[in-house]
Amino acid sequence: MLILPLPARPDWSRPPWATLSIMALCLAVFLIQGGDYQRAEEAWRFYQHAGIGKIEIPAYLADLERSGQTEKLAAVRRSVARGNGAAALRMMEADNSFIERLRHDRVITRAHPDYPGWRAKRSQYEELRERIVTEHYSLSSRDPRPVTLLTHMFLHDGIMHLAGNMAVLFVVGYTVEAALGPLGFLALYLLGGVGAAVPDVLMPADELQLSLGASGAVSAVMAAYLVLFGYRRITFFYWLGFVFGTVRWPALAILPLWLANELLQNFVFDPEGRVNYMAHFAGLTSGALLAGLYRWRRKGRSADIVHRQDDEQAVAALLAQAAGQVAEMKFGPAALTYRKLLAEHPGVDAQCAIEYRRIATLARQPELLADANHRLLLAAAQRGAAIPSALLGEIVLELPDALPKLAAAQWEGLLARLIDGGELDGAERLLLRLFPVRDLRQATLRQAGRLANSFIARGEDGRAAPILRLRSALAAQVAVR
């Protein structure tokens, strides 16, 4: 089962530096790991030439025989009989209990005649093994050193392992980083990776088991993504066997599915596999808890980026719906879609309101046209939206008897835009509409002179004269008050 959120468009004006840095670090570490094969070969050659196995392998066989581990004893004997000393060594080193006793001189004791030479060679061999980056810095469930709790999440077992983790990290990483900030994202990644290691630390395997990879930390980022979006619907890609497609679900609804999938894979479908499903499970749990704490500290609110992405997706869907309706010449439904868009997302670009008016005009529905005019007027007055002066002039000429409720400064601003844009007919109509409103007389008085001068500049003195008389009368009323 594969369910992944479809990526939103990255905002490269604010690059996700923490996400990109983690990806670059993982790639650099992977290139360093590329020399591990040569390092392991060097350690094996030393082990052979130093003759360490001539002492350790017989001691291991005797230990297996004493402890009654017949199957493992037979496997090691077969490897030795075939001359496959490397396989016998790997089986021995996978036996944590034996290796721990061997290192503490409880297998080959100081009383052994070859102890001094063996101990020196064993120490040198272990130094060579420590140069193998993957083994030394992976998380061992039997020996979880503090440094490996961090380093294991930057190691990978192969190019496909690396590519898969980095692809998923980028899909969700830049959104989560935009929400939390670079430092918050880095803390989430590291704490999530440490949280993913908890099952390995609490439930160590009997045999040597190394855990490595960014999967646990990436799982934490994925869970944080879901918690940040909460119950908002986002688009997911799913792949179930031969069935695949997309679906819009509440983000949090996916988290139980992801958690259940990891448990089923670990205990039912792939219990003997090499994938550390419990690290994925613990990473998802850690990321969900950390993001939940983040939202709790923000009193239940998600980050602004989450709201913005949610709005962008909803706006895009409504615009696509309206475009389809226009293409089918369904102007009435298209106008209603635009009205819904502007009502639910008042901060959209003014171009949407302009398009709403155009479609409402084509639909020949006066109610929708009046609503579109009203919204455009409010956008121009309240947000200073870039609406052409000619269009504002048309809207003012079509104003209904009941004027929209705007502040005096906003009405004055509209008057000034009409005058500056040369839309004197609209400015004159609006001035005469505003004059009877007592609270707007100061604004009317300031713009009346500018309008009269504009008429005079165009040689329309006859239209300027009544405006000047109105201005004088208005000035007298204001002075008397």
List the CATH number of the domain containing 202.
Answer: 1.20.1540
298 and 309 part of one domain: no
Work out the number of other CB atoms within 10 angstroms of the CB of residue 398: 14
Residue 232 forms part of a structural domain: yes
214 and 97 part of one domain: no
54 and 115 part of one domain: yes
pLDDT of amino acid 436: 78
414 and 381 part of one domain: no
Domain boundary (365, 387, 409) is at 387
pLDDT of amino acid 480: 43
Residue 171 forms part of a structural domain: yes
Residue 394 forms part of a structural domain: no
pLDDT of amino acid 147: 93
Residue 159 forms part of a structural domain: yes
183 and 267 part of one domain: yes
Domain boundary (302, 324, 342) is at 302
43 and 116 part of one domain: yes
pLDDT of amino acid 324: 93
424-427, long-range: CB within 8 Å, 24+ apart, which pairs? 424/451, 424/454, 424/455, 424/458, 424/463, 425/393, 425/397, 426/392, 426/393, 426/394, 426/395, 426/396, 426/397, 427/393, 427/396, 427/451, 427/454
How many Å apart are CA 74 and CA 326, to the nearest integer?
78
pLDDT of amino acid 98: 92
Structural domain count of the chain: 4
Q: Are 389 and 418 in contact (CB under 8 A)?
A: yes
For residue 47, with 0-12 CB atoms within 10 Å meaning exposed, 13-18 middle and 19 or more buried, which class applies?
A: buried
Dihedral, 248, 265, 205, 126 alpha carbons, nearest 10:
-70
Q: Token pair 């990644």 is at which residue? A: 189
pLDDT of amino acid 153: 95
Residue 142 forms part of a structural domain: no
Domain boundary (302, 327, 344) is at 302
Residue 143 forms part of a structural domain: no
pLDDT of amino acid 101: 93
Q: Are 284 and 258 in contact (CB under 8 A)?
A: yes
DSSP one-letter code for 244? E
418 and 464 part of one domain: yes
121 and 245 part of one domain: no
Taking 70 as the pLDDT cut, the residues of the chain under it are 8-11, 205-208, 300-307, 309-310, 382-385, 477-481
Residue 156 forms part of a structural domain: yes
Residue 157 structural domain: 2-27+151-302
Q: Are 422 and 389 in contact (CB under 8 A)?
A: yes
How long is the chain? 481
227 and 353 part of one domain: no
298 and 439 part of one domain: no
* Entry pTM: 0.67
How many Å apart are CA 16 and CA 20, to the nearest integer?
6
How many Å apart are CA 411 and CA 430, to the nearest integer?
9
Residue 416 forms part of a structural domain: yes
115 and 180 part of one domain: no
58 and 120 part of one domain: yes
